[in-house]
Amino acid sequence: MNYTKQIQDIAAKLFTEGKIDVFVGYRMNGFDDNQVPVLITDPQDVSKLVFTDKSVFNLVNYLKTDHTRRKRVGLVVKGCDSRSLNLMLTESQVKRENLYVVGICCEGIVDDSGHKMQNCVECVVPDAVVSDELLGTPSGQKPYMVNVDIAALAAKPLTERTAYFEEVFENCIRCNACRHSCPLCYCAKCCIDQETATLYNGANTTSAAFHALMTWSLHLAGRCVDCRNCEKACPSHLPLHLLHKQNESVIYENFQEHLAGVIPEDRGAFYKYSLKDPDDFIM
């Protein structure tokens, strides 16, 4: 998977035609084969752009920063990224007319060890669902798979699972990098930043970490697209995807096989009412 040339050409064309102010893509980090996101404002810099199977970060996150706000933005999105973009559009966080989206039919991202990332192996929607231009050959929607780690955890007894998650919350250092790197955490004032809140006080205690992470995970229930930006940001390497994938599988089972952000204008499992919704848990 290498779309470097195509993306460079598209970006150069967009700048020449004056369609965009900034192009968000990837560049090489300059010393090994890993890449970093880059925001290009100078048309001369388009030659820096690359796209390979190492282009890992979800760039939709940049739509909420100072550098892109109220600007016309060109953007590269993979399948999972495009789903989060779809949600940003549905939730009125960005205007479609301000964006030029280069969609990728993604074949999976490779991690440092040379293996395909687990979320790419289990990916349901590899092709970009929002795009002005689609690169690659669409391979269509894949069957849904329950995450391997969730399946492995579900097989363990409750005490073991509790001990495992206690360890996760103990090792959280409360830097909130997971939240900041999540494209769908765009609230101007997050509830876990309230100075006077009892549950989420800024302290680095296991209980505060538990409440902050669980609230975060519930706010992303039915919205998380499994791009794993949060895990890349976590300085303690916590398995944060477990919090989201569990919600995802429950929602998939109970809410008519709902998957976040796949259908444009779909408001998501928790935001719409359907007669088919299960009500056996309501008295």
Partner 1 sequence: MSVETFVTDKAGLITFYEAIMASHETYAPVEKFGKFDFKQVKSLAECDPESPIAKTQSIKPLFFPRSAKVMKYVATSTGTEVSEVDEDPLAVKRVILGAKHCDARALQVLDKVYNWDYIDTDYQKRRENTVIISTRCDKADTHCFCTSLDYDVENLNAMDVLVVHGSDGKVYIKARTEKGSTLLNTEVTRHASRVTEEAAAPDLKKQYEAFAGSFRLKMDYSEVNSKLSKIFDTPEFENVSGNCVSCNTCAFVCPTCHCFKISDEKIKDTGLRYKSYDSCNNGYFTLMAGGHNPRPAKYRRWRQRAMHKFVYYKERFGENLCVGCGKCTIACPVNISIFEVVNQVAVGSRQ
Shorter beta-carbon distance to partner 1: residue 72 or 174:
174
CB-CB contact of 93 with 64 (8 Å): yes
SS (H, E, C) 82-111: HHHHHHHHHCCCCCHHHEEEEEEECCCCEC
Token representation of residue 175:
């830097």
Closest to partner 1 by CB, 116 or 232: 232
6 is a contact residue toward partner 1 (CB under 8 A) = no
3-state helix, strand, coil in the chain (%, to 5): 35, 10, 50
Residues 90, 141, 201, 249: which binds partner 1 (CB under 8 A)?
A: 201
The H or E element spanning position 169 is: helix 158-170
For residues 38 and 25, the answer to whether their CB atoms sit within 8 Å is: yes
Question: For partner 1, which is the closer residue by CB, 176 or 247?
Answer: 176
Kindly tell me which of 151 and 175 has the beta carbon lying closer to partner 1.
Answer: 175
Smallest distance, partner 1 to C-beta of residue 41, A: 8
Which C-beta is closer to partner 1: that of 175 or that of 250?
175
| DSSP 8-state symbol, 190 | -
**Pick from 16, 92, 159, 196: which binds partner 1 (CB under 8 A)?**
196
Least Å distance, CB 37 to partner 1, is 4
180 belongs to the binding site for partner 1 (CB under 8 A): yes
Question: Binder to partner 1 among 165, 232, 249, 266 (CB under 8 A)?
Answer: 232
Binding letters toward partner 1, positions 32-71, x by CB under 8 A: x-x-xxxx-x---------------x---xx--xxx----
DSSP one-letter code for 116 = B
Residue 175 sits in the site that holds partner 1 (CB under 8 A)? yes
> Binding of partner 1 at residue 145 (CB under 8 A)?
no
How far does the chain reach from its first CA to its final CA, in angstroms?
52
Q: What are the CA-CA distances from residue 275 to residues 96, 256, 258, 279 (Å)?
A: 31, 11, 14, 9
Q: Does 31 bind partner 1 (CB under 8 A)?
A: yes
CA–CA distance, 38 with 267 (Å, rounded to integer):
31
Handedness of CA 179, 181, 183, 189 (dihedral sign): positive
HSE-CB at 207 with a 13 A cutoff on CA atoms is: 4
Residue 187 sits in the site that holds partner 1 (CB under 8 A): no
Q: Which residues bind partner 1 (CB under 8 A)?
A: 27, 29-32, 34, 36-39, 41, 57, 61-62, 65-67, 167-168, 171, 173-177, 180-181, 189, 193, 195-196, 198, 201-205, 208, 229, 232-239
